[in-house]
Amino acid sequence: MGKVSIGLRGWRFEEGEVFDDDGEFKELGEIPEETRLRLERLELLVTAPCQACWLLHGDEDIAECNVAEAVYGEPRSEVLLCDEHEPDFLYWFRDDGGREYMGEEELKDAFHEWFADGGRAPGKYEGIEHVDTDPADVPDPSEVDPDELAIEQPEDGKRIDLRDVDLGQEYPSS
């Protein structure tokens, strides 16, 4: 099993800690404490406004704020962001000193200060490409023909020795 986001992107959960073998949520008592605390916190956050929007519009124009779609940081010190402002957070975290607050309670306040002081990602800054998958769209492994997944072998049966492959300057480096 892999990791999944639930409700908001960002926080990732081990599927086996959260779901039973039938794909249903486990009883809270069966979920490890740290995971359970994040899930309980998520219940409060899934309809909350983007904090960057809130910094721009305030309580007076709360209707102008987008609903958060991503969460970063630790519970009770998390940063909630809409799609528009997630790249700002990622830029700050990756490229402008935010990483020093990783795992720290000060993360939220530090990001808020940076953003309120005019901090923004440069134009066209690439955030994270998210892939939203509906579990119903994931193929059932028992229905996949193993022959379709087979890797073609060279007709002469010889293996390719990767030490003989030229990875010189003609290949793009990015």
Fill in the amino acid letter for 94. Answer: R
Nearest to 81 by CA among 73, 91, 71, 90: 71
- Quote the pTM value: 0.69
pLDDT for the residue 97 = 94
Give the separation between CA 18 and CA 15, rounded to whole angstroms: 5
Q: Which two tokens stand for residue 170?
A: 């003609």
Nearest to 41 by CA among 64, 10, 15: 10
Q: How confident is the model at residue 73 (pLDDT cuts 50, 70, 90)?
A: very high
Residue-wise pLDDT tens digits, 26-35: 998 999 999 9
Nearest to 71 by CA among 92, 99, 51, 100: 51
Q: Does residue 149 register a pLDDT over 80? A: no
